[in-house]
Amino acid sequence: MAHIPGPDPEVVDLPAGRLRGAIENGVAVFRAVPYALPPVGELRWRPAQPHPGWSGTRDATADGPSAPQMYMEGGDPVLGGHGSPPFDEDCLTLNVWTPAAPAAPTTPEAPAPDAAPRPVLVWIHGGGFVSGSGSLPNYSGETFARDGDLVVVSVNYRIGSLGYLGLDAEDGGCNHWLTDQLAALRWVRENIAAFGGDPDAVTVAGQSGGAMSTAALAGHPQARGLMRRVILQSPPFGLDLPDPEGCRERTDAYLEIAGAKTVEELRALPWPALIGATGGLFALTTRWGYWPTPFLPVIDGAAVARHPVESLLHGAAADIDVMIGWTREEANFGFALDPGHAAATREQVTDRIADTFGGEAAPAVYAAYERARPGARPADVLMDLITDELFRVPAVRLAERRAESGRPVWAYQFDLPTPALGGRLGAAHCLELPFVFANFDRWSHAPFLAGLAPATRDGLAHTMHEAWIAFVRTGDPNHPAMPQWDPYEKDTRTTMRFDSVVAALGDLAGPSRRLHDSAGRAGAQGAGAGGAADQE
């Protein structure tokens, strides 16, 4: 039965026990709700276990600790920080926002209906698999709950060494993070009706690493029936994910850095020592011209049977509604402010291109990128290459393959550049987030938003926010305040461009798609690179 708020809209009764939340700006909020046992002690590096519940009324008015992670005092120069204390291993909780008014107006003649369960949006935060929190103010579900009449859930889950190390292959392997997220989705299925949500109308959305997680969940056998739609914001589908042997090698390197000879010794270390060792693994695994990823999902043939991008093409996931998008200059987030990459030479970038396309094709590929951006410096070519490799081209290939199978997706590119930091970031990774959530007041700490014209900023935020709401509610992102947005079909390749002027364009990513498809083949064959460049 749907929860119809009454005299105490901040109180709900669940099978696990009673919760008391709070009313914030007209929205009922329930914070730090446990969905699994704390993964501490012997449960560290074990699959998530069901929570037994509690007696009495549990206070749900304050955020719980976020997953342990590296923390930079004062924040970083782009986001201003992506996780803040307190941190603790006892972090497997979620937050729920639900409208504090009935779904339909009430009058003496028309009392509140015991019906109309609301669509549900589940948010999975990103953060390179090492940072972030579902409790961050910028990921508050308040705007979606209020503006879209939705029930919104944000999830905390294990990240970094606690989520991705492979210590007990027979007991969860390397993908402990995935057991957390599956447990959270099962919790939503079993409990969301108490908050007025419809368990049969769940959309799972995530950005960056959270989008990779969302794709992995969509194709997981245990998630069958737990979601109807997914929104994939900047999924790094171009990452080369390790197999179990690769996971073991990285785990062995981490053990050495942490000074532990056995799993038992590692289990005995306090979590701050585990997080401290993460810095050493960053240093060990970082390569020039590549996004640093010391921890990654592992294709183990069980929890993650195939690359998450493949999971959206097979089985039950093939019938899930999909929205996917990227920002025009994703890689600027990680590289534009780094002196070692900003000063890249043509020779360095050509060598980096050769890693992907082969040495014979590399000069022609460099020239194609240079032509596509008049006045491009070598650093610009490098960042466009990384954007294409990690984000744009793999996303477009997914759209192409789903279109071929008759299951099109809704595709977009976020193009609005930020003037912050001398304009060096462009339309960087993460920049679309405050527009999607339409909550710039929660992003006041983020340097990358400085200088955006309020009228342009707010107008685009309204367009995107309402499109996301429409997709969650209906599977179609169209609404009256935007141009017609058609699915990505093989003959039209419609892609919505979100910029100061919003427009639906055909084959917006065509140059990148053709370059990587044609030049990639040419590089593999060791011939024909010039023809690939000529297609630009």
Structure tokens at 220: 């997981």
Nearest CA to 99 out of 71, 114, 84, 120 is that of 120
Q: Torsion angle of alpha carbons 293, 287, 73, 343, nearest 10°?
A: -140
- Taking the C-alpha atoms of residue 433 and residue 43, their distance in angstroms, rounded to an integer, is 34
- The radius of gyration of the chain from alpha carbons, rounded to an integer in Å, stands at 23
**Which of 96, 82, 84, 126 has its CA nearest to residue 35?**
96
Distance set, CA 359 to CA 95, 363, 389, 490 (Å): 50, 8, 17, 32
The token pair at 37 is 């046992």
DSSP states of 316-338: GGGGSEEEEEEETBTTHHHHTT-
Largest distance between two CA atoms of the chain: 78
Inter-CA distances, 427 with 326, 330, 333, 382, 418, Å: 10, 7, 9, 15, 6
CA distance linking residue 357 with residue 301, whole number of Å = 28
Total residue length of the chain? 536
Catalytic residues: 208, 330, 429
Distance of CA 311 to CAs 220, 303, 318, Å?
Answer: 8, 12, 8
Q: Which residues of 152-180 are buried (b: 16+ CB within 10 A; e: fewer)?
A: bbbbbbbbbbbbbbbbeeeebbbbbbbbb
Residue 200 contacts residue 186 (beta carbons within 8 Å): no
The strand ranges marked E within 329-464 are: 410-414
Cβ atoms of residues 229 and 209 within 8 Å: no
Alpha helices, DSSP H only, in 420-478?
Answer: 433-437, 454-474
Q: Which residues contact 480 (CB under 8 A, 6 or more apart)?
A: none
The DSSP line for 216-232 is: HHHT-GGGTTS-SEEEE
CA–CA separation, 488 vs 496, rounded Å? 10
Q: Give the Cβ contact number of residue 75 at 10 Å.
A: 15
Residues 445, 80 contacting (CB under 8 angstroms): yes
* Contact of 312 with 212, CB cutoff 8 Å: no
